Structure 1
């Protein structure tokens, strides 16, 4: 059997793990599990089959990919219900930076900005 990649977890360094975790819990409905009393403190955020791992940035400001490299998202999550999820996040007060659209690479997606300035896309390849 050929090896197959099944899922991906994003790792987000942040200045304040609890502040970032609260944003994801309150606005994006992620479940928060803290592992702060371990050798490498971190917070895990869970929603459906997606996980985000928050780590301490040791005083370094989060610099989104678009600022570092001129373009690019900081994470891309796959979903088939873009419109419903986008509306859920709009209702929660999340900043939408690109409304649901068809990209030039044939994905249907929308993009949010998180509390640390990261741009995160939600979408899927079309036909």
Structure 2
């Protein structure tokens, strides 16, 4: 079977892309590359093999999925080292809204809340 999908990037609209980028750099260990003079201003955030693209929401506040639909995360990032990552983020002052646990859908993950109120999950499917 040919692999056609390689990676995924999350796109996060935000009221203040510079403030959100600074949060991700300071607390989550991302590196920011701004393209603020582009026709569509954005900041790309990089950590390991993950990229988040911040865009301007043009005055619209971020409404997390749990508010819009009653449940759900705004992004899910795959990681094999959940314990270490959770400890790192907690030590940095990131708000952990659900600690590391095994889910009823056979994932092991934890959830944070970012500066814009998004719930972001970090985890992976368990074998079996």
1:17-57 CA distances to partner (integer Å, 9 max, x unpaired)? 00000000000000000000011100000000000000000
Gaps of 5+ in 2: none
Q: How many residues align?
A: 127
Cα separation, 2, equivalents of 1:2 and 1:106: 26
The secondary structure found in structure 2 opposite 1:22 is: helix
Q: CA deviation at 1:6?
A: 1.5
Determine the structure 1 residue equivalent to 2:30: 30
TM-score, structure 1 normalization: 0.98
Determine the structure 2 residue equivalent to 1:72: 72
Gaps of 5+ in 1: none
Determine the structure 1 residue equivalent to 2:47: 47
Report the RMSD for the aligned CA atoms in angstroms: 0.7
The secondary structure found in structure 2 opposite 1:4 is: coil
TM-score, structure 2 normalization: 0.97
Q: Tell me, yes or no, if structure 1 residue 15 matches structure 2 residue 15.
A: yes
Q: Tell me, yes or no, if structure 1 residue 103 matches structure 2 residue 86.
A: no
Cα separation, 2, equivalents of 1:87 and 1:3: 33
1:84-120 CA distances to partner (integer Å, 9 max, x unpaired)? 0000000000000000000111000000000000000
Cα separation, 2, equivalents of 1:40 and 1:4: 28
